[in-house]
Homo-oligomer: A and B are copies of this chain.
Amino acid sequence: MLPTKMRAVAAFQALPIRDPNSLQDVWLPLPTVQDNDVLVRVQAISMNPADVRFRHAIRGKTRPHVLGYDGVGEIVAVGTQVHDYAIGDRVYYMSARRRHGTNAEYQVIDQHLIAKAPRTGSLAQIAALPLTAITAWELLFERMDIRPAAGANNGSIMVVNAAGGVGSILIQLAQWAGLDVIGVASRVNWPWLQKFGVTQLADYHDDLTSQVQKLGYDYIDYIALLYDPVPYFGTVADVIAPMGHVGMVVDSNTPLPVDWLKGKSVSIDWEYVFAKSDYAYRMNTQGEILRWIAELVDDSTIKSTIAYKFNGINAQNLRQAQAMLETKNTIGKITLEGPFDGDAKELDDVKLEESQSYVE
């Protein structure tokens, strides 16, 4: 028998992360399983910049918002239209942002967004994967015109913020696909990149164009800008190859001089990992990507990108994890492994719909 209520960590309003009320341990009713949903008992989660961004975007003060976009857990119930998964399956997934997230003991998620978890790796290692792996895969193989197969591509890719969450897995997928990788990161994080086999390294503190030239490149075929693109746009215009692709995942918050890229017929490819679930557009491809990723994990092509792990999923640990991300100085992924062990408080009159509210 399933319980009727569950522990969750909720944000009620946009407060500084140091404020103990910014994320709170609460009891919520279990969510209702729709026809295409599975109900998952969440075992481990990981943290993304999306958690920080969506928390800051909360308007109002009273409704509980359950964040959390990476999860792994065990299926405890399935909807009437679910045939490929059964109770007891271990699955991993990236949540849609329009429903409540992984920061709760139980979560409903559309079957098209999930996949069976890799057979290898710890719960925390698996929880580190979905959002960043899907982002990297979609950026490389759906947006930037790179073929998703081992050794199937020639050419070079420069990865800015290569040691970050998306970067740490993107460099591995790019190498698998046959590209020469140039990792751009602070020199202190070069050992992290070398761990993943990246030998061509550049430091964004120094002039990037000349570093690229010293590495022997006139032009770079693909550039993954996994950071504010503004300070990098001049270098991009200098070193991108004719007909090259510039992939971006972070808002510039200011108009960009895209004319700089015209003379070489360059494409600027946005990747926003929630676009498919926001628009209910080919959502099943996100489950498919996770099946590919599970294979690449199980055959040791992809190494774990965990850099930090908290034991216990509760408001205090989540506040600390978000505070770390807000420094923008972390590498790899921050994970939290269950159980949910916060000192949860009862809320008056909470309806489930209120915890599924749409943020941002």
By a beta-carbon cutoff of 8 Å, the part of chain A in contact with chain B is 138, 142-143, 145, 241-243, 248, 251-259, 261-272, 275-276, 278-279, 281-282
Q: CA of A253 to CA of B253 in the docked complex: distance in angstroms?
A: 19
Q: CA of A272 to CA of B253 in the docked complex: distance in angstroms?
A: 27
**Closest approach, in angstroms, between the C-beta of A78 and any C-beta of chain B?**
28
Contact of A257 among B255, B272, B276, B281 (CB under 8 A): B255
Residues of chain B within 8 A of A264, CB atoms compared: 270, 272, 275, 279
**Closest approach, in angstroms, between the C-beta of A254 and any C-beta of chain B?**
7
**Closest approach, in angstroms, between the C-beta of A280 and any C-beta of chain B?**
9
Residues of chain B within 8 A of A254, CB atoms compared: 255
Copies per assembly: 2
B138-A275 in contact (CB<8A): no
User: 10 tightest A-B contacts by CB?
Assistant: A255-B255, A265-B275, A242-B279, A268-B268, A242-B281, A267-B269, A262-B270, A265-B272, A251-B259, A255-B257
B257-A262 in contact (CB<8A): no
Q: CA of A278 to CA of B243 in the docked complex: distance in angstroms?
A: 12
Give the residue name and chain of the B residue nearest to A247 (CB): B267
Residues of chain B within 8 A of A253, CB atoms compared: 259
Residues of chain B within 8 A of A279, CB atoms compared: 242, 264
Give the residue name and chain of the B residue nearest to A254 (CB): B255
Residues of chain B within 8 A of A282, CB atoms compared: 243
Residues of chain B within 8 A of A241, CB atoms compared: 281
Most buried by B among A242, A257, A270, A271: A270
**Closest approach, in angstroms, between the C-beta of A209 and any C-beta of chain B?**
17
Known: A255-B256, A256-B255. A265 touches B145 (CB 8 A): no
A258-B255 in contact (CB<8A): yes
Residues of chain B within 8 A of A275, CB atoms compared: 242-243, 263-265
Q: CA of A281 to CA of B244 in the docked complex: distance in angstroms?
A: 11
Give the residue name and chain of the B residue nearest to A278 (CB): B263
Q: CA of A143 to CA of B359 in the docked complex: distance in angstroms?
A: 34
Contact of A267 among B143, B252, B255, B265 (CB under 8 A): B143
**Closest approach, in angstroms, between the C-beta of A289 and any C-beta of chain B?**
14
Q: CA of A267 to CA of B142 in the docked complex: distance in angstroms?
A: 10
